[in-house]
Amino acid sequence: MKKDTLIVEGLAGKKSLNGEVRINGAKNAALKVMAASVLFDGPMKLMNAPHTEDTNRVAELITILGGSVVIDKKEITIDASSIDSTDLDPDLARSMRSSVLLTGPMLGRYGKVKFPVPGGCVIGARPIDLFISAYEKLGAEVKLESSKGGDQYAITAKKLKGAEIFFNLQTVTGTETIMMAAVLAEGKTVLRNCAMEPEITSLAEFLNSCGAKIHGAGTTTITIGGLGSGGLLKAKHAYETIPDRVETGSFLLLGVLCADNLKITHCNPEHIEVLISHLRESGANIIVTKDTIELRDNAKLKNSSLKPFNIRTHEYPGFSTDLQAPMTVFLTQVGADEINPNSGARGESIVFETIYEGRFKYVSNLEKLGAQLTVMNPREILVKGGASLKAPEPGEELEAYDIRAGFATIMAALVAKGTSVIKNAYFIDRGYENIEGRLAALGADVRRVHADEQPEIVI
Ligand code: EPU
């Protein structure tokens, strides 16, 4: 893991960012389509793909299996037809939960796959029990094997057979992975209580345009007419990666706090409707077109006149857990004397996390910056608005704990006065491409210190 550091010069509460930011293709859409390459009879291509550490790692996993991956600017071409192994590289697979996406297409096409039992990750336990029970319902045999490097699943199926599967809770990658496995199963599969994220719909639409028979993606019931393991898909055209809704929401939250005139382009505002609705009710003036979001003369809007409110994370179309940390930063800045319409409390907001049990680690960063918040329990934070943030003392560093916590920490450091150091920029790179360059283009002073230059950090 590269241990780069980011140095952030705070804007000391000034709303001085200006300009345009172009939203990249969604990492969480590209990763799924990359895994789907295994369902194709030859090369397939993604356009508008983001350059993130996570997409690089899936590329590496496919390459180690024997497939060919060519990344050229925003295009990724994958030919999985040369795959000659069905064992996912254990270290690589363990380091990224989304590697489990490959198991569905592998099982559908080759009738077997081996992969490590995923450990917990920094945001929570992240089990895969729902994947495993779905594979069993599709007729696969699941064995748990012990090896020197750790336990691994060995899953085999002479033929996957269509089945009725009910997910006990809505899982995004679970829905996608089992949907992909079912494309090459024999007979009809019905998935119920499916997640409804736009990335799932986009994946299904692309697979359908290449020969799959998937109905209902984007609703809680998805039906897949299996093509059998020989019914490989044909890449009739390239996949156009949909805009990253979490990136869009991240820049919008940052913009309301720190920008005067900001235009977010190449996005899909419909995918962050709940965020826009909360921000407008809080007092922000947000101008939306089909594919842009704009703040104009936003510096006139004092953060102290924004109203506090409560959020509760939820599956799509509810408030995304991936925007929970940036939203907490936002809520530290709303008016201390403004009334929270949800509770009647003055200057106070509640953030309630329903998806993960460990997504509050970043709070320690915000406390170091002087934010006033209390973690009530592992799911709930009480945030006091109106905090004036200040960079930690020299020598005291902030840390990116996961992708979104990392962005939230940059946001807080930008709001603050003084120079902050954020360790482990790698986590931010897993989801946001060239974050320092894109913020610099808006007028922020965010510099990267590469791991091998670390001793020279002076602040
Ligand atoms: N869950 C289980 N068992 C399972 C599967 C899931 O208990 O077999 C639980 C999880 O532990 C979690 C909940 O179900 O508590 C929802 O998890 P889900 O499976 O939906 O999450 P995911 O598919 O692993 C994707 C995104 C995450 C995002 C979540 C929730 C990708 C690659 N990842 O994860 O994105 O937070 O959905 O929307 O699509 C990120 O981009 O920073 C990120 C973490």
Q: Say how far apart CA 244 and CA 50 lie, in whole Å.
A: 9
CB-based contacts of 432, cutoff 8 Å, min separation 6: 52, 247, 250, 403, 406, 407, 438
CB 360 within 8 A of CB 353: yes
CB 432 within 8 A of CB 405: no
pLDDT in tens, 330-371: 999 999 999 999 999 999 999 999 999 879 999 999 999 999
pLDDT in tens, 111-137: 999 999 876 566 666 789 999 999 999
Q: What is the pLDDT of residue 459?
A: 30
**Residue 171 near ligand 1, beta carbon < 6 Å:** yes
Q: What is the pLDDT of residue 127?
A: 87
Q: Say how far apart CA 245 and CA 447 lie, in whole Å.
A: 25
The protein residue with its alpha carbon nearest to ligand 1, atom 35, reads: 322
pLDDT for 456 beyond 50 = no
**Residue 443 near ligand 1, beta carbon < 6 Å:** no
Look up residue 382 and give its two tokens.
């009480």
pLDDT for 297 beyond 90 = yes
Q: What is the pLDDT of residue 458?
A: 32
Q: Using pLDDT thresholds of 50, 70 and 90, give the confidence band for residue 253.
A: very high
pLDDT for 98 beyond 70 = yes
**Residue 130 near ligand 1, beta carbon < 6 Å:** yes
CA dihedral 74, 80, 81, 86 (to 10 degrees): 170
Locate the ligand 1 atom nearest the alpha carbon of residue 132 and give its number: 8
**Residue 319 near ligand 1, beta carbon < 6 Å:** no
Q: What is the pLDDT of residue 358?
A: 79
**Residue 428 near ligand 1, beta carbon < 6 Å:** no
Helix (H) or strand (E) holding 76: strand 75-79
ω into residue 317 within 30 of 0, thus cis?
Answer: yes
Q: What is the mean pLDDT of the chain?
A: 95
Is 121 assigned a catalytic role? yes
pLDDT in tens, 37-57: 999 999 999 999 999 989 999
Mean pLDDT computed over 312-335: 98
Give me the phi and psi of 83, to 5 degrees please. Answer: -60, 130
The protein residue with its alpha carbon nearest to ligand 1, atom 16, reads: 171
98 C-alpha to center of ligand 1: Å? 9
Name the more confident of 212 and 148. 212
Q: Which of 57, 171, 179, 359 to mutate to test the pocket of ligand 1 (most atoms within 8 A of CB)?
A: 171
Mean pLDDT computed over 168-177: 97
The protein residue with its alpha carbon nearest to ligand 1, atom 43, reads: 322
Residue-wise burial string across 326-347, b where 16 or more C-beta atoms lie within 10 A, e elsewhere: bbbbbbbbbbeebebeeeebeb
SS3 label, residue 125: coil
pLDDT in tens, 299-310: 999 999 999 999
35 C-alpha to center of ligand 1: Å? 16
